[in-house]
Amino acid sequence: MILDLLRHASTGRAGHLDGRTDPPLIEGAMDTLYRCHAGIGWSRVITSPRRRALDTAHALVAGSNQFCEIHPDWAELDFGDWDGLHFDEVPAEQLAGFYSEPHDVVPPNGESWQQFQARVEAQLHRLVDEDDGDGQPVLVVSHAGVLRLVVSRVCGMSLSSLWAMRIDYGTRVRLRVERGEDGQLWGELLELRQP
């Protein structure tokens, strides 16, 4: 299966921990995405229910006969008490612990990385199971944390190394995703397109 993961268009809130916090897209945010991603023939378009992802997905399919499938499991990590805060507003040692050991550090009253990983992996397995083999990519419009998690799980890259990978607004990551004989997903990074 070919999977395109796209981070939503800009909300103008770079540096904020926006999980369930859901700011709207800024005016003109889709202009660059149209230029970068126009003409791709996706077999399906799936989106996080967050307004910023949903509005991005709807804009990308506007004028076509495609519709957007909305699924809550593609939403960003819930950062709990940190949700909506800028990085500078979170105690530095706690934030550093979260980035270095996300499996061990849970934002106060937030979602654990294990919960986040379980729901996203369930959706990955579902997509592979539902793939019709036509070779057309499936698009998932989501969030930076989801993109990093999927690349980590499918390509076997350590999560800590993926913090160094820039995933700006509108970044598209194309992966080939397969299921091995052991039932585990594996794949390769085919393309990383920054707007």
Number of H helices, E strands in the chain: 6, 6
Q: How far apart are CA 55 and CA 158, in angstroms?
A: 31
Asked if 8 is an active-site residue, the reply is yes
What is residue 16's DSSP assignment? B
Torsion sign across C-alpha atoms 179, 174, 107, 9: negative
- Residue 181 appears among annotated catalytic residues: no
The residue from 16, 76, 111, 143 that is catalytic is 76
| Residue of 8, 16, 37, 143 marked catalytic | 8
Annotated active-site positions, please?
A: 8, 76
